[in-house]
Structure 1
């Protein structure tokens, strides 16, 4: 069985849990407590040199890191349901929306980035929260602008794709940190549709064995 090193509140781990569930793949979850600094241990660095989660250990012992790379692997391994459309133009559009979350919002809101703002640059807890809210709000506006017109259940289709996986995980953080979601009713509709699915429900942070 595959082993997923994750942390219950990690949005990148959340993405991979959703992906594994959507593909119907069994895995064992092992917690890496980010708040306690377990990711910085030498033992874990031997698994993931980036000292972050998630890391997915395959059945043959191969270790995969970086959530987007892991999702790509899962999509190649189990083609259905597909995370990306087959049409090249639509594929690029869905990928771009996913990257707004994964490359524009998440990196600047990462725990180690916010921690450095506080530790090295004197930011307060309130400063850190304001920082995260700012970049989530900016990113959500960009995401909204990329959505096609129509009555799709999810962002681009009637089934969830990789952009929806990234979005739902990021919305967890938005709710946690009190982002004003009033301009983003469409995103909340997508979230509601996703959370009606078992694959998303089982992946949510509160459902994880290390949730506290």
Structure 2
């Protein structure tokens, strides 16, 4: 990837993404909510394109998403979505975090449960390791356990305080992290959402929101037609 390829114009950032990646899914939602016109660059994780030397120049951790904006590269989905780090500063409207300190803290707490307590434990690298070391039959039970543990915690946190969305009547950072994880739980892991009525209700709102709809995995240019 030539130097020119690692620099995006200020008017059109470049998002390196994989259609099925929940981390990439988060970044797409955030960019859509902010109304950012971005260029989509597919990185096929199943084909190992994240290890291509040219992509490693963009993100040495070999993860998607990676956002190239102006002369900077942000190679982490939490950094991309997190208000004080990037998008909130550069594209302040609409805000991803409320002014109320308690609700702001709750947004961060929920995002962290997903980003640290669920997603890393059921990503492709971990599942391949379990399959190789323990057996293919253990992959689904492991994944379900990690998601259900996180969903139970989040349901408890918001069941008495959620508004239209997770922490109020406006979309927040928590929703950007929740929506892809719920989607993955439903489509890939067959999680029974009747155990999480608040999250199930929120998911119905996500499914009806244009920014969330446009970010769906099956709507990305690198998604297979069967998706």
Same fold, TM exceeding 0.5?
yes
Q: Partners of 1:129 and 1:148 in 2: how far apart?
A: 27
Give TM-score, length-normalised by structure 1: 0.94
Give TM-score, length-normalised by structure 2: 0.88
Tell me the C-alpha RMSD between the 2 structures.
Answer: 1.2
Unmatched 5+ stretches in structure 2: 1-11
Other-structure match for 2:77: 67
Residues 1-212 of structure 1 mapped to structure 2, 5 A cutoff: 1-58=12-69, 60-72=70-82, 73-119=86-132, 121-124=133-136, 126-147=137-158, 149-150=160-161, 152-175=163-186, 176-212=188-224
Q: After TM superposition, which residue ranges in structure 1, 4 or more long, deviate above 3 angstroms? A: none
Q: Number of aligned pairs?
A: 209
Q: Partners of 1:87 and 1:34 in 2: how far apart?
A: 39
Q: Partners of 2:167 and 2:176 in 1: how far apart?
A: 12
Q: CA deviation at 1:61?
A: 2.9
Deviates more, 1:36-45 or 1:161-170: 36-45
Answer whether contact 1:148 1:156 (CA < 8 A) is retained. no
Deviation sequence 1:128-177 (CA, Å, 0-9, x none):
11111110000000001111524611111111111111111001110122
